[in-house]
Amino acid sequence: MLSEILKKETEPMIEAIYSDAFIQGLIRGDIDDAAVAHYLRADSLYLDEFAKLYALLISKTESKETVRFLMGQMAFLMDGESEAHEVLAHAINRSYADIIKDGEWYPSADHYIKHMYFNAFTREHIAYAISAMAPCPYVYRRIADMALARHTFETDHPYRKWFEFYVNDMDDTINVMFDIMDDAARSMTEKEIDVLKKNYIESTEHERRFFNMAATKEEWTGVGTHA
Ligand SMILES: Cc1ncc(CO)c(N)n1
């Protein structure tokens, strides 16, 4: 099955994300406050757009069940995963609203969201956009699994609840997305399935870049050329 192939194929990339500076910094609890703030400024904008992507997909499906799923996801995202984000803001002793008021599209986040929009706007079948979106919940779920399985977090660990959020709340989303992709793949050509695979693998890499963006506090470098 396509979803099983993709999960296997991207596991080394997920291990790499886990070993990178951002997740290891959260696990140790000594991540740079500025990296956490950078992540939140990007992720708050990212999740707003992710919610709007679900709205776009409503016109691509005949299935009421899928419409219901998309609406549920939008409602969930309208809160911007506020619980998880509040944990991060609290850990760096700042108010979440204050951190995100100057949100920005740093290059890696910008590239990632446009990958999704490209698939939503230029390809009719819902599975193309979904294949670019599925690594979003899946990568976080796996990273949270790994962290909680490999580490004992003290009750007062500043980031424990961030990992716990993603271990508990993502499974329904992941399963529905993989079902949509697997169903689509059954009636697609080999070439079309290859596009789904490429989308999915690229998005897994985008997830890695997003965390590294925050760890390195990535910025556009064209001095004075942007607002
Ligand atoms: C970039 C990114 N990917 C995945 C998630 C999890 O929903 C998130 N909050 N942000």
Torsion of CA 168, 3, 64, 50, to 10 degrees: 60
**Ligand 1 proximal residues by C-beta, below 6 Å:** 43, 46-47, 81, 136-137, 140, 207, 210
pLDDT cut 90: percent of the chain above it: 89
| pLDDT band (50, 70, 90) for residue 131 | very high
pLDDT at residue 105 greater than cutoff 70? yes
pLDDT of residue 224: 60
Residue 80 reports pLDDT greater than 70 = no
Closest residue (by CA) to atom 5 of ligand 1? 136
Atom of ligand 1 lying closest to residue 109 CA:
1
pLDDT at 58: 96
Give, as one character, the DSSP assignment of residue 59.
T
Q: What number is the ipTM of this complex?
A: 0.98
- Once rounded to an integer, what is the mean pLDDT over residues 153-182? 94
Closest among 179, 48, 74, 79 to 126, alpha carbons compared: 179
d(CA 132, CA 43): 17
| Catalytic entry in 136, 154, 205, 218 | 136
Mean pLDDT value of segment 67-87:
89
> Stretch 50-70: mean pLDDT, rounded?
95
The first and second tokens of residue 85, run together, are 């984000």
What's the whole-number mean pLDDT along residues 12-31? 98
Confidence of residue 96 (pLDDT cuts 50, 70, 90): very high
Q: For the chain, what is the mean pLDDT?
A: 95
Active site residue 11: no
Report the distance separating Cα 208 and Cα 19, nearest Å: 10
Determine the pLDDT at residue 79: 76
Q: Are 226 and 135 in contact (CB under 8 A)?
A: no
CA of 137 to the centre of ligand 1 (A): 7
Pocket test for ligand 1, best of 43, 165, 171 (most atoms within 8 A of CB): 43
List helix spans (H) across the chain.
Answer: 2-19, 21-28, 33-58, 64-78, 82-91, 96-100, 107-122, 126-133, 135-150, 160-168, 171-186, 190-215
Please state which of the ranges 27-41, 66-80, 106-120, 156-170 shows the lowest mean pLDDT.
Answer: 66-80
The distance in angstroms from the start CA to the end CA of the chain is 46
Residue 97 has a pLDDT of 95
Q: Is 15 one of the catalytic residues?
A: no
Which residues contact residue 115 at a Cβ distance below 8 angstroms, ignoring those fewer than 6 apart? 132, 199, 202, 203, 206
Q: How confident is the model at residue 187 (pLDDT cuts 50, 70, 90)?
A: very high
CA distances from 134 to 30, 59, 103 (A): 30, 19, 24
**Average pLDDT rounded to a whole number, residues 180-186:** 97
Question: Residue 101 pLDDT more than 90?
Answer: yes
Residue 141 pLDDT > 80: yes
Q: Which domains does the chain have, with CATH numbers?
A: 2-215 (1.20.910.10)
The CA angle 41-27-78, to the nearest 5 degrees, is: 35
- Which whole number is the average pLDDT over 122-138? 97
Q: Which of 35, 89, 41 is nearest to 215 (CA)?
A: 35
